[in-house]
Structure 1
Amino acid sequence: MPPNEATEKNAHRLKRRYSYVTGSSIALLITAGLLLYFLTGRSASVLVVTLLGALGLAGVTAWSYVASRDALENTATGERRRLAESEERYGRLYETSMDGILHTDMEGTVLECNKAFAEMLGYLPAELKGKTYFDITPGKWRGVDWDVITNQLLVTGHSDKYFKEYVRKDGSLVPVSVRAWLDEDEAGELSGIWARAEDISEQKRYEDFIRETIIRLEQANDRLREMDMLKTEFVAVVSHELRAPLAAIESALAAMKAINAASEDPQQAQLMSVLNRGVVRLSHLVDDLLDITRIESGQLRLEQVEVDPVELATRVVEIYRPRAEEKGVNLSLAFNGGPRSSTCDPRRVEQVLVNLVDNALKFTPGGEVRVSVECAPYRAVYSVTDSGPGIPPELQDRVFEKFFSSPPVVESGTQGTGLGLAICRGIVEAHGGKMWVDSDTGRGATFHFEIPG
């Protein structure tokens, strides 16, 4: 019930109450005066006083009624003013809202809508009035709306935000985000539905763009994976094909050395040395290519046995000791007193240590290279520390990447293939272990790897 109507009814009820009280009081006083008049010997003074009292009460009552009526009228006027202000504010919000606002009856007929809703669908507000829910909603969304009505609106009186589409005047679709509320009449009966709709066309375009971009990226990744597989197969084939001619060259070089063993020609000896280094380098490259191919394809086979980690590290140190002495590098071995037993593929673990010690000697023209072994139950941790130039922080995460090449090394000024550390990490991870580096620029580097078992 509107506030001004309630106020008017209250005033009317109060007016009737005051009229009843006033009439009853005056009648009672007059009756009392007449009784006193007859009982006291018909004293005129008593009758006069009684009548005057009745008139006084009537005056007071009338004044009270007038004052109360004025107060009620002032209250009603204030209520009407506040109601008018509230309706004005609502009207401004309704018309200036950026969101579309729609009001339908319970059958879905449009009762009213604001300008934003009409413009969203390409209509004038007057054109939408009288249209039905079915005129502006595509068939595919009617099941969604029905679920919202039955499971939310009729249960709680309002809905959560949900997404749907409306049909524009030109037949195109506009995606919207909607929230709805039930409307009731004065008797508390359901009379319609209010809905607030936000145009999300721009958001939908972004979502479609992102979705299409993801699809294109996935397709590009599939092509890259396919190319990578082809590259891996190609490298494997080429590496295998290179083994035969390399073996022939190595055999020929061995024969030439035997034939010319007694020769003292320095030029011939130098030529043989160059050829031998080239063959060794090419042989190592082929081995690296085959190893990285096996690692990437998951075909690296390990022959694990129980070994002594310290003995394994000692063997590598002894291999490189002559070269270290030649370079003026102090090559040492350190180990703790833990259990000297580990299960691994000794040939592959030795390959990792050889690579790390070889790199350390390349980067350390003078100074120290230390190989450490920490033995513990069910694991062995190997470390190779050098006193070389160190690795800048920005490169430490990249040194294990395939084909990453460091700056030219101190020993020869040449760069490696960039496969060594990638192969080392692959071998360690194939054992279920991990590999990492600690380094500060100018303070050397320490490469660690842990082999469980």
Structure 2
Amino acid sequence: MSGNKISGRRTLQHAPKQFDRVLLIEDDKIDQMAFSRLVTIEGLKYDYKMVMSVTEAKQVLRVSRFDVIISDYMLGDGTALDIMDLTNGTPLIIITGMGNEEVAILAIRGGAYDYMVKDHERNYLKLLPVSIENAIEHYRAEKRLRLLEEAMMNANDAIIILEAEPTNLPGRRVLFVNEAFSQMTGYENDEIIGKTLNILQGPETNKVVLEKIRQGFDQRIPTRAEIINYKKDGSPFWVESNIVPFSNDKGWTVHWVSIQRDITERKLIEEAIQKAKDAAVEASQAKSEFLSTVSHELRTPLTSILGFVSVTKKKFEEIIIPDLKISSKKVEKTVNQVKGNLDIMYCESMRLTALINDVLDLAKIEAGSVEWKHETVELSEVFNTASEALSTLFDSKGIYLKSETGRKDFFLTGDRGALIQVATNLLSNALKFTDTGGVKYKITNVENFIECEVEDTGIGIPSDMLINIFEKFKQIGDTLTSKPKGTGLGLSISKEIIKHHNGSIWAESILGKGSKFIFRLPKNN
């Protein structure tokens, strides 16, 4: 047999031998006793039943099943041939007397498994156990083969059996295909048996994948591949092919089995998903570029406006008003209106500048163009820096800002500037929605994380808004009568920064009692 030997062959672990069910049809009581004695002396694991006639045998075979049937050819009410239609595939061993060999051979041609010649010394009994074992093993092997063939023919996946050789062109010929293969490809058995699988290849069949399969054949190793095949009508389809070598008990490869599954629908879905992803990335990049361009175009004139307003406001307050002689209430009212308008222009310009900065920051983060720093950061210092920058605003509003962190140091690797931006966003957000009481923050160690918490005594957040609180342009003030002004981007930016640091951020709140914003960052980031 041709084929190459491979190492590492798996062997089946057999269960302990069970008793074989044996039916003996023998009308000679001495021969029955001889059989019983053989079973006892040799310790044979037979669960056997003995009958003396064709009639008894037929009655037993109608209600019972056996692994093997042993029958004397000549019986009192007939011959062994009379029970063959009731064996139901069970192997039949015929025992003949001297001179009946030709009849026994005819019986074998009719379906009997074996025959033995009964001698006067009953020496045939010494060979009978071997014949029984072979018959049972042959029967079980045939049964397993039928089950396997039935399973293969009815499998949903295409199954192809290839010869072991040759390894060179044109390749291994097909020995077997199941019904699923015919349904998948359109080729009937007689159109593919004896040919190679090259018949399935076409212009879009990937040559690199074919080379991978060829190397699997050469190295005698299982191979998995996804490749485009072609049906009989010329239409392409995707298959996932698993090819494995099968070896005999000596470890020699005797054939290959390929199991193929049609994955065309999956590939089409994957292609559609990839196109959608590409379109989304392209749209996101276009959006980011648009926002960046628009923001840049707005920033330049806005910077000029802010500068002019700032200078005008300063000169008006420091030069014009002190030297102005207010002659009437109308003039005084007008002066106050101009001053108020300048204040509004300055505040709105600052707010618009903050909005543009936030839009640019978010656009850069989403586009992946932020140049993140990787430096040692101490989170107590981060929050202290943010609180110092906001302390004047807290004082002017008459609410407290305090730390409950203590003196413990909390170090990690990250972008200090970005984390200060997060702390500033959370503290200023708390300031915005707190009119009485104040804001406190604390930093603690939680297992392998550092947890930062900002808690206020403000108005709180409605429960239905907590889920979407970190969405872009989502403002808590939208639900309130008195709406604090903001960009609606601070929390979105904070979430993206924390996400970049492999952390998590969330909010907790009770309406009317205050809110907590908490984020966790891994210590070994």
| TM-score normalised by structure 1 residue count | 0.59
1:441 matches 2:504 = no
**Which letter maps to 1:120?**
M
**SS of alignment partner, residue 329 of structure 2:** coil
1:169 aligned partner: 232
Q: Which amino acid aligns with 1:217?
A: K
CA distance in 2, matches of 1:196, 1:308: 62
Which of 429, 435, 438 matches 1:369? 438
1:62 shift after superposition: 1.4
1:102-142 deviations in Å (ceiling 9; x for gaps): 34443434444333334433222223333345445568465
Is 1:148 aligned to 2:216, yes or no? yes
User: CA offsets per residue over residues 240-265 of structure 1, 9 Å max, x none?
Assistant: 20233344455556666635663434
Task: Return the match for 2:341 from 275, 292, 307.
Answer: 275
Report the residue type matching 1:93 in the other structure: A
Paired residue for 1:226?
286
| Aligned-partner residue type, residue 179 of structure 2 | K
Q: How large is the Cα RMSD of the aligned pairs?
A: 5.8
Report deviation, 1:97. Answer: 3.4
Q: 1:65 aligned to 2:123?
A: yes
User: 1:65 and 1:280, CA in 2 relative to 1: closer, same or farther beyond 3 A?
Assistant: same
Which amino acid in structure 2 is aligned with residue 417 of structure 1? T
> Of 242, 259, 277, which residue of structure 2 is paired with 1:178?
242
Alignment partner for residue 186 of structure 2, among 97, 122, 126? 122
Cα distance between partner residues in 2 of 1:277 and 1:252: 10
- Is 1:97 the counterpart of 2:155? The answer is yes
**What pairs up with 1:132-143 in 2 under 5 angstroms?**
132-136=196-200, 140=207, 143=211
> Helix, strand or coil for the counterpart of 1:62?
coil
Deviations 1:377-404 (CA, angstroms, capped at 9, x unpaired): xxxx997643123235675576565533
Alpha-carbon deviation of 1:406? 1.5
Structure 1 residues 410 and 320: alpha-carbon distance in aligned structure 2, compared to 1, 3 A threshold: farther
Aligned-partner residue type, residue 350 of structure 2: H
Amino acid corresponding to residue 122 of structure 1 in structure 2:
G
Mapped to 2, the partners of 1:66 and 1:382 lie a distance apart of 92
2:309/2:342 contact within 8 Å kept:
no
Structure 1 distance, partners of 2:178, 2:132, is 35
Structure number with bigger Rg: 1
- Per-residue Cα deviation, 1:268-327 (whole angstroms, up to 9, x for no partner): 3663365134213322223314533664555999xxxxx998799578545543543xxx
Say whether the 8 Å CA contact 1:433–1:449 is kept in structure 2: no
What are the ranges of 5 or more consecutive residues in structure 2 without an aligned counterpart? 1-67, 69-90, 99-117, 167-171, 365-369, 374-380, 410-416, 445-450
Query: How far 1:369 sits from its partner (Å)?
Result: 0.9
Contact residue 435 and residue 447 of structure 1 kept, 8 A: no
- Counterpart for residue 267 of structure 2: 207
* Most deviating of 209-218 and 418-427: 418-427
CA distance in 2, matches of 1:238, 1:402: 20
Q: Report the CA distance between 1:222 and its aligned residue.
A: 2.6
Structure 1 residue 237 displacement after superposition: 2.4
Q: 1:193 to 1:225 in 2, by over 3 A?
A: same
Measure the CA separation in 2 of the matches of 1:349 and 1:444.
23
Matching residue of 1:331: 400
Q: Is the 8 A contact 2:161 2:174 kept in 1?
A: yes
**1:195 aligned onto 2:257:** yes
Cα 1:170–1:407 shift into 2, 3 Å: same
Give the alignment's TM-score, normalised by structure 2: 0.53
Q: Retained in 1: the 8 A contact 2:462–2:510?
A: yes
**Secondary structure at 1:221's aligned position in 2?**
helix
Bigger drift between 395-404 and 89-98 goes to 395-404
Partner of 1:285: 351
SS class of match (2:120):
helix
Letter in 2 for 1:115: E
- Find the aligned partners of 2:131 and 2:275 in 1 and give their Cα distance: 71
Q: Distance in 2 between matches of 1:417 and 1:234?
A: 16
Paired amino acid for 1:169: K
Answer yes or no: is the 8 Å Cα contact 2:228–2:238 preserved in 1.
yes
Assess, with a 3 A threshold, how the Cα gap between structure 1 residues 128 and 183 changes in structure 2: closer, same or farther: farther
Q: Distance in 2 between matches of 1:426 and 1:71?
A: 79
Give 1 or 2: higher helix fraction: 1
Return 5+ residue gaps in structure 1 as ranges: 16-59, 154-158, 302-306, 325-329, 341-346, 376-380
Q: Distance in 2 between matches of 1:336 and 1:197?
A: 63
> CA offsets per residue over residues 135-183 of structure 1, 9 Å max, x none?
4556846534432222016xxxxx3544455553334445442334347
* Residue 395 (structure 2) pairs with residue 321 (structure 1): yes
- Structure 1 contact 362–411 (Cα < 8 Å) conserved: no
Shift in CA distance, 111/224, structure 1 to aligned 2, threshold 3 Å: closer
The 8 Å contact of residues 99 and 199 in structure 1, kept in 2 or not, is answered as yes
Name the CA distance, whole Å, in 2 between partners of 1:312 and 1:110.
75
Please state if 1:412 is matched with 2:482. yes
Q: Which amino acid in the other structure matches residue 147 of structure 2?
A: R
Shift of the alpha carbon at 1:350? 10
Provide the residue aligned with 1:27 in structure 2.
Answer: none
Amino acid aligned to 2:267: E
- State the one-letter code of the partner of 1:211: E
**1:368 Cα deviation from its structure 2 partner:** 0.4
What is the deviation of 1:206? 1.5
Q: Match for 2:178: what amino acid? A: N
Cα separation, partners in 2 of 1:425 and 1:195, compared to 1, 3 Å:
closer
Instruction: Map Cα deviations across residues 31-63 of structure 1 (whole Å, 9 max, x no partner).
Output: xxxxxxxxxxxxxxxxxxxxxxxxxxxxx9814
Q: Do the aligned residues in 1 keep the contact of 2:438 with 2:456 (CA within 8 Å)?
A: yes
Q: Is the 8 A contact 1:383 1:447 kept in 2?
A: yes
Q: What fraction of aligned residue pairs are identical, expressed as a percent?
A: 18
